[in-house]
Amino acid sequence: MKRLSLFALALGISPLLACGPAAADDTPSVLAKLAPLTKGALPNLITVYGQVGPDSAGRQALIAPVEAAVTNVFVRTGQPVTKGEKLVELTPSPNSATSYEQAKSALSLASNVVERTRSLVASHLATQQDLAQAEKNESDARATFDALSSQGAAGAHDLVAPFDAIVTQIQASPGDVVSQGAPVIDLVQPNGLMVIAGVVPSDAMSVNAGDPVTLTPIDGGNSVQGNVTFRGSFVDSTNGLVPVDVSVPSNGALLGEMFRADIDVGNVSGYLVPHHAVLVDDSGVPYVVQSDKMVAKIVSVKVLDSNGNQDVISGPLDPSMPLVVDGAYQMSDGTPIQVNTGSGAAAAAPGGN
């Protein structure tokens, strides 16, 4: 080497050039896109699924007022009906008809006894106490007769809709004999519908009545807005979920329709980054890459919330270092970074990072 150097000096050539080019860094740089690391927030959404059903206050079962035979059914399941519309025709059963005739006879007899007792009192052959008892017997007989009459025991009787409604179930067919008090037809109010859903117990305490909800039909279609009207305080043993009811706008859904419900329970704050900038290592730990003076720095993070193409993350991040939003998947700690200017050329990162 000493001889080579002397020879080179004699020729006026630098010894370094005589030895060849200096060794270069073998680590290739990666073309990337950088963006400032900024804080922000996303709505904290809890997603549940449910089916449109009636509010408990908006349903009613029409019952048979007396034992009766079903003569006609004028509607079908799922049919909308208006207030006062005829739904079912009932005819008193032989037992009901007999009871009515007995009540009618008892009232007639009691009325006759009252008149006769009044005559006896006028003739001093009966006391006022006797008259009072006769009048009481007449009053009792009249009450029984009037009750049977109002219940339809006197003849054919129609069950009519007490309000605008949807028929949800018909529990009797023409020819059936239904007992007194038995349900014949079930109705629900169309403006009393709600999505009946359930939330996993770990999320239940975050849900409260009044929380805004975005309802999206499972089979597609436009979303509608509602609110949580009820959140239970128990776990339903049939499905392991805590009951949640969500209001549905009038004419916003069909009875039985399935919905996805995104419940907004507040905001989640942290660093707001593009979803594709968050990667996962071989151990399943999410991470991002920051530019430390144009050198890649791997930072493990926790994803607090996701919404579409954005994530909220937390972790030991340096807000002064830009975030690698494109190209991070090719990097490891210490990888040199070139900035993609969008024209295919590389440039230094702004601010020296």
Provide the pLDDT for residue 21. 39
Provide the pLDDT for residue 19. 40
Mean pLDDT within 162-191: 91
Q: Give the model's confidence band at 208: pLDDT under 50 very low, under 70 low, under 90 confident, else very high.
A: very high
Fold category of 46-55+190-267 in CATH: Elongation Factor Tu (Ef-tu); domain 3 (2.40.30)
pTM, whole model, 2 decimals?
0.60
Spatial distance between the Cα atoms of 213 and 197, rounded to a whole number of angstroms = 12
**What CATH architecture is 30-40+269-352?**
Beta Barrel (2.40)
pLDDT (tens digit per residue) in 296-352: 999 999 999 988 899 999 999 999 999 999 999 999 999 999 987 655 444 544 444
CA distances from 348 to 338, 351, 352 (A): 7, 9, 7
Mean pLDDT within 215-225: 91
What DSSP state is assigned to residue 322?
A: P
- The amino acid that residue 141 corresponds to is A
* Burial 117-138, CB ≥16 within 10 A → b, else e: beeebeeeebeeeebeebbebb
Mean pLDDT within 13-24: 40
pLDDT above 90 covers a percentage of the chain that reads: 54
Q: Give the model's confidence band at 104: pLDDT under 50 very low, under 70 low, under 90 confident, else very high.
A: confident
φ/ψ (deg, to 5) at 191: -95, 15
Per DSSP, the chain holds a count of helices (H) and strands (E) of 5, 23
- Lookup result for tokens 């419900």: 261
pLDDT (tens digit per residue) in 37-78: 999 999 989 999 999 998 878 889 998 888 888 989 999 999
Q: What are the residue boundaries of the structural domains of the chain, listed by start?
A: 30-40+269-352, 46-55+190-267, 62-87+160-187, 94-150
* Cβ(353)–Cβ(320) below 8 Å: yes
Fold category of 94-150 in CATH: Helix Hairpins (1.10.287)
85 pLDDT more than 70: yes
